[in-house]
Structure 1
Amino acid sequence: MTRVVVSAIVLGAALVVSITVAVTLGAAPLGVGEVWGSIVAHLSGQPSPLDPLRDGIVWQLRLPRILTAAAVGTGLALVGAVMQGITRNQLADPYLLGLSSGASLGAVAVLLLGIGILLPVAAFGGAMLALLATLGLASAFGPLTPTRTVLAGVAVSSFAAALTSFVIFWTATGDSYREILGWLLGSLAGARWPEAAIAGVAMLVVGVPLAFSGRILDAFAFGDRSAAALGIPVVGARWALLGAGALLTGALVAVSGSIGFVGLVLPHAVRLVIGPGNRALLPLSALAGGVFLVWADTLARTAFDPRELPVGIVTALVGAPVFAALLLRRRVAS
Structure 2
Amino acid sequence: MPQEVRAVIARAKGEPVETVTIVVPDPGPGEVVVEVQACGVCHTDLHYREGGISDDFPFLLGHEAAGVVESVGEGVTEVAPGDFVVLNWRAVCGRCRACTRGRPWYCFDTHNAKQRMTLTDGTELTPALGIGAFAEKTLVAAGQCTKVDPAASPAAAGLLGCGVMAGLGAAVNTGGVGRGDSVAVIGCGGVGCAAVAGAKLAGAGRIIAVDIDDDKLALARTLGATHTVNSRTQDPVEAVRELTGGHGADVVIEAVGRPETYQQAFYARDLAGTVVLVGVPTPEMKVELPLLDVFGRGGALKSSWYGDCLPSRDFPVLIDLHLQGRLPLDAFVTGTVGLDGVEEAFARMHRGDVLRTVVEL
TM range (shorter): under 0.3
Q: TM-score, normalised by structure 2?
A: 0.26
TM-score by length of 1: 0.27
More helix by share: 1
Higher relative contact order (CA 8 A, sep 6+): 1
Greater strand percent: which structure?
A: 2
